Structure 1
Amino acid sequence: MGKEINFIACNDDLGSSFIAGMDKAMAEYAKKKGLIDHMYFYNLPQGLSAICADFPQVLEKLKALPAGLYFTVIHPSCETEERRKTGNAHYSGEEIAKSRAYETQIFSDITTMKKLKEFGYQGIRYDEAVPQTRKSLP
């Protein structure tokens, strides 16, 4: 496809924080392979779930966040039966399917994206960001 893989990430719904030793193994693998470890950029805005749970107010809540470098990864997805089968012990497939569809709604909305740009939000790639302190998972 012509895309270079330059980072490693494993989302919580896939088990990175629920499998003993997975976080350490991924950090070591990233270092060994010269990949960007996404855990150096894992600064979620405080209360992100609550912010994103209220679509009509999401723009105002994001606008009110203090200036800084925040991390969020969107997972565009449709709410489908297949997606509902991706649950685990901590998140039901229903929760995952709904949240992924909601992310798609928020971040594919042209008006929302224009407003975020007006507020100074800018999407960047991992290789454009300044690494922070690595967040370790249990």
Structure 2
Amino acid sequence: MLRESNGREPAIRLITRADDCGSSHSANVGIAESLKAGFIKNVSLMAPCRFIEEAAEMLIGHEDVCFGLHATLNAEWDQVKWGPVLPISQVSTLVDENGMFTPSPHVFEAQKPDLDEIMLEIQAQLDKLRRLGFRIAYVDTHMFPEYHVPGMEDRMMEWADKEGLLYWNRFCSSLRRVEETDHLIDDIVSRLKAADKGQYLYIGHPAIDTCEMRMLGNKHISGDELAAGRVLEARLFTDPRILQLCKEKGIVPIRYDEASVITERLPPLDEWFFL
């Protein structure tokens, strides 16, 4: 049982997770820098992306961090793309005419992917991370494709059990919005202040502002806006107000392998603060 320094069980347990590690050098540096504050306890890795080997060089050895597979079946940016770990011939229903992943999992609702191909690719991504030296404890998904592919979530949970992994959706409840604000950190502070006793998930996508990060973007967000947002998300894990609030309220950041299973159904995706 996880306990505070005073010996009591914490009233609020917060699964703190940094996503998209390996997607870019900027993300790798942002995550590595954010880890120094000690608030991030989980890092989710994108095996198909070109900077995953760099992520291994930078992060393996962080014994205090729980690493997870950020199962990736989509590539959302206009100018930067990634494709499967497996040969295209083995996962042809998952890629576009250029052999790259499609921009959104909504595509899967019209262009039905083969579920067996999905699981083969996810297995290959896990195997790659293990070969790089990561000890993978949990699995989550990039852009939530399991919400758009019938039967995928059940297959993933069954597969995760077989591989000895924790499946993210069994362990999280979202922090509810309590007031309207456009400032991300003010929003998170208000959510944490209002949180009742329980276990919650807190996700960010830390990165530094670089030309590389500004190359990203799509019709929904420009590269400049994305870079600014990712820098702000990095601050979520290091902002003094958040760290002090957690100390005052007895909020304890935890790893997935310290978390308890939660049966509560998740809210609709548009209610999640990190999307």
- What TM-score results when the alignment is normalised by the length of structure 1? 0.70
Deviation at 1:20, TM superposition (A): 4.1
Check the 8 A contact 1:77/1:100 in 2, yes or no.
yes
Deviation at 1:123, TM superposition (A): 0.7
Deviation at 1:71, TM superposition (A): 1.5
**1:92 corresponds to 2:220:** yes
* Whole-angstrom CA distance in 1 between matches of 2:236 and 2:168: 23
- Which consecutive unaligned segments of at least 5 residues does structure 1 have? none
Q: 1:116 to 1:35 in 2, by over 3 A?
A: same
CA RMSD of aligned residues (A): 3.5
Check the 8 A contact 1:52/1:58 in 2, yes or no.
no
Identity in percent: 26
Q: 1:54 to 1:33 in 2, by over 3 A?
A: closer
User: Which residue of the partner structure matches residue 136 of structure 2?
Assistant: 5
SS at match of 2:207: coil
SS at match of 2:201: coil
Deviation at 1:135, TM superposition (A): 4.7
Check the 8 A contact 1:41/1:134 in 2, yes or no.
no
Greater mean deviation of Cα atoms: 36-45 or 63-72: 63-72
**1:76 corresponds to 2:206:** yes
**1:33 corresponds to 2:166:** no
SS at match of 1:66: coil
Check the 8 A contact 1:17/1:23 in 2, yes or no.
yes
* Matched letter for residue 74 of structure 1: G
User: Which residue of the partner structure matches residue 23 of structure 1?
Assistant: 153
Q: 1:55 to 1:72 in 2, by over 3 A?
A: closer
Q: 1:52 to 1:68 in 2, by over 3 A?
A: farther
- Which consecutive unaligned segments of at least 5 residues does structure 2 have? 1-59, 62-133, 269-275
More helix by share: 1
* Matched letter for residue 142 of structure 2: N
Check the 8 A contact 1:42/1:71 in 2, yes or no.
yes
Check the 8 A contact 2:178/2:194 in 1, yes or no.
no
Q: Deviations over 1:69-122 (max 9, x none)?
A: 11222321235224x34x6xxx93547655543321222223421222222111
User: Which residue of the partner structure matches residue 105 of structure 1?
Assistant: 235
* Whole-angstrom CA distance in 1 between matches of 2:163 and 2:178: 32
* Whole-angstrom CA distance in 1 between matches of 2:265 and 2:227: 26
Deviation at 1:10, TM superposition (A): 0.6
* Whole-angstrom CA distance in 2 between matches of 1:49 and 1:99: 20
SS at match of 1:9: strand
User: Which residue of the partner structure matches residue 43 of structure 2?
Assistant: none
Q: How many residues align?
A: 132
